[in-house]
Amino acid sequence: MSKPDDLLTIEAKRPRFGPLTIASILTVVIFALDFEIRPGTGLGALYVVPVLLVSYAGPPYYAFYGAWVSSLLIAVRLLPYPLAELQPAVPINRFTALVVVWTTATIVYRLRQTATERSAIARDLADMKYALDQSAIVATTNTKGTITFVNDKFCEISKYPREELLGQDHRLLNSGFHPKEFMRDLWVTIANGRIWRGEIRNRAKDGAIYWVDTTIVPFLDDLGKPYQYMAIRYEITDRKRSEELLREQAALARLGEMAAVVAHEVKNPIAGIRGALQVIVSRMTGDPRDRSVIGDIIARLDALNGIVQDLLVYARPRQLKREPVDLRSLITSIIGLLRRDPTFAAMQVDVSGEPQPVSADPEQLRLVLQNVLMNAAQAMGGQGAIEIALSCEPGTCRIDIRDHGPGMTPEVIEKAFDAFFTTKHRGTGLGLPIARRVVEAHGGHIGIRPALGGGTVVAIEFGTPPALLRA
């Protein structure tokens, strides 16, 4: 039965004469020469050569096997000669050869053992480094904070190439979230040789925010002073988002309880007061200025009612009633409705694109678009153009709403979707948080970014109905 081709290839590459074979041949040659030459010579010391070859043919203890064989052959060479006939130099030379062989074997054994241990340590370190690189974000800095090493995961999460990180410091990733006292405490801790642990929020090159659970370990010199720092991080962005969601849900539960009280104790009385004022106005026949005063009161009541309504919508989101929605038709009807508001009356609105229908709740989507469009008009003081771009890709439709106002700072963009945050003199700060909740309930996403040339873009994405996609 013939051997497989791969086995033949392996055998062809295998060396014909290994160290053990060569050592055996040399041993025989040296032994033969030792018998040909008188025993008083120092030829026995040549047995060191096969001992060396044997020691490198296998594990470190092979050196002692070679030393035992060489010692036996050195001793056997003296057997043919009576002890009385041997010159004093002969046993001395033989003893010297034994010392050389065993000393060499011992040295080689220890060197091989040390090399094996170092190789095992290096392999373990390489394995640990590989495991660390696969699971953690690792960077080292000098005592000035200059980055001297980053692994691939660091580059991956920060979106920076390695060459842009080396030589920089971690301020490159600073999101501005942590106060100066936080960073000062970090540096004081590690500068004193202590390990620092904490959670840090960073900003990637593309502006994305991410959280990392960080441990910074100072490496100390003989005087106990740090000469290098290693930071080991694990991304916890999803965990922080979940924690935020849990806090938000707990706050919503409390807010829902308060909203029930507000609806009963505030909303109903407002409706009663407004109705009574309208009756009074209809019966007034005196000074027109009195009508104006009551009109202002009714307007304030309507504004208060709007605030209460926003609070109820935010605290008690209702279930979605999905259906295919034509975005262009919906936006056209919303623009027509908003024209009645003085802030929006003079706005120019340009709509481009013919998207596919999206699977959405039309009333809740209307609420989102009204909020965003009214914010855009207010940002431009009721003057200028709003551009709405509609686009579709397989499975997704996108709405980009751009204004040409003064734009938002990165700090405002970051907080824009926080409940009760507002930069207006009036308002609840619930418009965009409600919009985000509605969009995310649809499985979509809403985001804000600065527009090229000034202004702001609000981008909204929705999925298209599967049934329509199949058609």
User: pLDDT tens digits, residue range 222-251?
Assistant: 888 999 999 999 999 989 888 887 877 776
Q: Quick check: 40 pLDDT over 60?
A: no
157: its two tokens = 């999460």
Among 218-222, 418-422, 433-437, the range with the most confident prediction by mean pLDDT is 218-222
65: its two tokens = 């096997």
* 10-24, 189-203, 309-323, 439-453: the lowest-pLDDT one: 10-24
Cβ neighbours, 10 Å, residue 450: 15
Q: Quick check: 33 pLDDT over 80?
A: no
**Domain limits, the chain:** 13-132, 136-235, 241-315, 323-470
- More confident site: 56 or 227: 227
Counting Cα atoms < 13 Å in the Cβ hemisphere of 336 gives 6
- pLDDT band, residue 36 (cuts 50/70/90): low
Q: Compute the distance between CA of residue 261 and CA of residue 312 in angstroms, rounded to an integer.
A: 10
- pLDDT band, residue 7 (cuts 50/70/90): very low
Would you give the end-to-end CA distance of the chain in angstroms?
A: 63
Distances (CA, A) of 451 to 160, 194, 409, 414: 23, 45, 12, 15
Q: Quick check: 304 pLDDT over 90?
A: no
- More confident site: 73 or 392: 392
Specify whether the backbone of 455 is left (phi greater than 0), alpha (psi in -120 to 50) or beta.
left
At 128-182, the pLDDT tens digits run 778 788 888 999 999 999 999 999 999 999 999 999 999 998 889 988 889 889 9
* Exposed e or buried b per residue across 76-110, where buried means at least 16 C-beta atoms within 10 angstroms of its C-beta: ebeeeeeeeeeeeebeebbeebbebbbebbeebbe
Q: Compute the distance between CA of residue 309 and CA of residue 259 in angstroms, rounded to an integer.
A: 9
Quote the percentage of the chain above a pLDDT of 90: 22
Q: Quick check: 468 pLDDT over 60?
A: no
Query: For tokens 């809740």, what's the residue?
Result: 364
Annotate 201-228 with DSSP letters as a single string: EEE-TTS-EEEEEEEEEEEE-TTS-EEE
Look at residue 42 in the predicted model and tell me its pLDDT.
54
Torsion of Cα atoms, 340 then 341 then 343 then 348, to 10°: -30
Of 20, 21, 66, the residue nearest 46 (C-alpha): 66
Look at residue 225 in the predicted model and tell me its pLDDT.
92
- pLDDT band, residue 3 (cuts 50/70/90): very low
Residues 6+ apart with CB under 8 A from 167: 146, 147
Q: Compute the distance between CA of residue 449 and CA of residue 408 in angstroms, rounded to an integer.
A: 8
Strand order through the sheet with 196-203: 147-150, 137-141, 226-235, 209-220, 196-203
Contact present, 328 and 366 (Cβ < 8 Å): no
Contact present, 458 and 467 (Cβ < 8 Å): no
- pLDDT band, residue 6 (cuts 50/70/90): very low
Name residue 43's amino acid.
Answer: L
Determine which helix (DSSP H) or strand (DSSP E) holds 452, and give its type and residue range: none
Mean pLDDT of 35-55: 62
- More confident site: 374 or 63: 374
CATH number of the domain at 136-235, please?
Answer: 3.30.450.20
Among 55-59, 199-203, 336-340, 396-400, the range with the most confident prediction by mean pLDDT is 199-203
Mean pLDDT of 339-353: 88
- pLDDT band, residue 359 (cuts 50/70/90): confident
Q: Which CATH architecture has domain 323-470?
A: 2-Layer Sandwich (3.30)
Query: Strand pairing partners for 213?
Result: 199, 234
Q: Compute the distance between CA of residue 206 and CA of residue 326 in angstroms, rounded to an integer.
A: 33
* 38-42, 274-278, 302-306, 309-313: the lowest-pLDDT one: 38-42
323-470 shares the fold of 136-235: no
* 150-159, 278-287, 438-447: the lowest-pLDDT one: 278-287
* Exposed e or buried b per residue across 271-299, where buried means at least 16 C-beta atoms within 10 angstroms of its C-beta: eeebeeeeeeeeeeeeeeeeeeeeeeebe
328 phi, psi to nearest 5 deg = -65, -40
Q: What share of the chain is helix, strand, coil (3-state, %, to 5)?
A: 55, 15, 25
Mean pLDDT of the chain: 79
Cβ neighbours, 10 Å, residue 74: 23
Look at residue 150 in the predicted model and tell me its pLDDT.
93
